[in-house]
Amino acid sequence: MIKRERNKRENMPKKKKIIILYSTAGMGHKKAALAIYDAFQKRNAEVSVEVIDILEYASNTYKHLYLNFYVFMMSRAKWLWAFLYHFSDIPLVDIMTRKVRGVLDFRGMSAVGPMLAEKKPAAIIATHFFLPSVAAILKKYDDLNAKMYTLITDYGPHSYWLSDYVDEFFVGSEPAARNLEKRGVPANKITATGISTSADFTREFDKDALRKVHGVDRDKKTVFLMSGGFGVGPIEKMLLSLNSCSADIQVIAVCGHNKTVYEDMEHLQEKLKYPLVLFGLTDKVAELMAISDLMITKAGGISVTEALNARLPMILFGSIPGQETWNEEFLISNGAAEKAKRIEDIPLIANRILISDEEYDSFMAGIDKIRKPNAAKDIVEIVLKDMGK
């Protein structure tokens, strides 16, 4: 009997494997990957899904560049990032450097190729541009016959996301799809699924209960100030500027990893004319968005998509030149957000949005026009269909 059961298990077909790749250089890539993973789990298909941080397979030098240098540029040298972003996006520069870049990326993460060849996935989904960079090299592996998918986590495609060897691209919007097509990607390899976020951002919360949990007054307008995962940006100046807001507000501020900023904000509270609720690194962002009326943020691809899915109007400030410029243009052109060029403009825009019902409804209409809350689910369905599942 035992032998018969063992033979039965051995003869059962093995589950096809799907690997989702991300990078912790910017938390958005990870959040998008985990959202897709959760959608696979809810789908309950007969596949095995694994989520992998590519930096775990990187050399120490490569990891240092991707983490420390990235944070340095985001906090102290945005001008350098802007130059590198736009220079590397010039078509001629891309043509001249693409192969070399792929080789350098592959060597910097030399353990990724052998790992994938050993695991033998049927599909690889990436939320980071590492996969397009090395896809040409991976296609040469005899033991690796995976179909390769890439989710672009901003609303415009930089040349780093481009590759002739990626089988399908998922993008955040129809304009992004058209832009990708103009760059030479065949239309049949592009699907405007939206950018994947956790299903929590579309949940129907008990908002009164959440306000009690987080110490938020139900009778005040709530402004949610988001500084990004690394907690960079002039948060103190923004908070002080909101003192001139004539709307009856309270502010929820999330400082991310930055403990120094959090401590500075604690000391700042006595200078503020409104209640301030502080958070460091938190996994309650979906709840905080649900009880907020307005968000102030830089235009990170995942952050603004989470706000879209939570139906939360945005004031954009301090965005990174480059990829976040795409995001700003997309949101503003559709009436889902407004950009503050100076900190002094923030309270003026906040007053207009929070006091005027007509203005607020206009922003909500813009949001509803472009939000794609089922992105993760749609990506999963496409991949499973391609796998015959």
- Which strands make up the sheet holding 168-170, listed edge to edge? 47-53, 16-22, 123-126, 147-151, 168-170, 190-191
**Residue 11 confidence (pLDDT):** 52
Half-sphere exposure of 346 (CA within 13 A, CB side): 26
DSSP string, 282-294: -S-HHHHHHT-SE
The overall average pLDDT reported for the chain is: 90
Closest Cα to residue 162, out of 146, 147, 179, 145?
Answer: 179
**Residue 231 confidence (pLDDT):** 42
**Single-letter amino acid code for the residue at 51:** V
Q: For residue 336, is pLDDT > 80?
A: yes
Given a contact cutoff of 8 angstroms between Cβ atoms, the answer to whether 326 and 305 are in contact is no
**Residue 110 confidence (pLDDT):** 87
Cα–chain center distance at 88: 21
Given a contact cutoff of 8 angstroms between Cβ atoms, the answer to whether 278 and 266 are in contact is yes
Given a contact cutoff of 8 angstroms between Cβ atoms, the answer to whether 22 and 30 are in contact is yes
**Residue 233 confidence (pLDDT):** 53
Given a contact cutoff of 8 angstroms between Cβ atoms, the answer to whether 299 and 328 are in contact is yes
Please give the Cα distance from 366 to 345 (Å, whole number). 21
Task: Report residue 227's pLDDT band, with 50, 70 and 90 as the boundaries.
Answer: low
Spatial CB neighbours of 14, under 8 Å, sequence gap ≥ 6: none
DSSP string, 333-387: HTTSEEE-SSTTHHHHHHHHHHH-HHHHHHHHHHHHHH--TTHHHHHHHHHHHHT
Spatial CB neighbours of 361, under 8 Å, sequence gap ≥ 6: none
Phi, psi of 57 (to 5 degrees): -110, 15
* DSSP one-letter code for 51: E
Task: Report residue 232's pLDDT band, with 50, 70 and 90 as the boundaries.
Answer: very low
SS3 annotation, 65-78: HHHHHHHHHHHHCH
* DSSP one-letter code for 250: E
**Residue 389 confidence (pLDDT):** 67
Tens of pLDDT, residues 8-48: 445 555 789 999 999 887 688 999 999 999 999 999 888 99
Half-sphere exposure of 272 (CA within 13 A, CB side): 24
Which carries the bigger pLDDT value, residue 7 or residue 137? 137
Domains of the chain (ranges plus CATH)? 2-195+373-386 (3.40.50.2300), 199-370 (3.40.50.2000)
Q: What is the pTM of this model?
A: 0.90
Enter the tokens of residue 9: 């298990």
Please give the Cα distance from 377 to 315 (Å, whole number). 28
Residue 190, SS3 per DSSP: strand
**Residue 73 confidence (pLDDT):** 75
Please give the Cα distance from 84 to 111 (Å, whole number). 27
Q: For residue 83, is pLDDT > 60?
A: yes
The helix/strand count (H/E) of the chain reads as 18, 12
Q: For residue 59, is pLDDT > 60?
A: yes
Share of the chain above pLDDT 70, in %: 93
DSSP string, 204-238: ---HHHHHHHHT--TTSEEEEEE-TTTT-S-HHHH
Q: For residue 104, is pLDDT > 70?
A: yes
Tens of pLDDT, residues 344-370: 999 999 999 999 999 999 999 999 999
Tens of pLDDT, residues 141-197: 888 999 999 999 999 989 999 999 999 999 999 999 999 999 999 999 999 999 999
**Residue 226 confidence (pLDDT):** 79
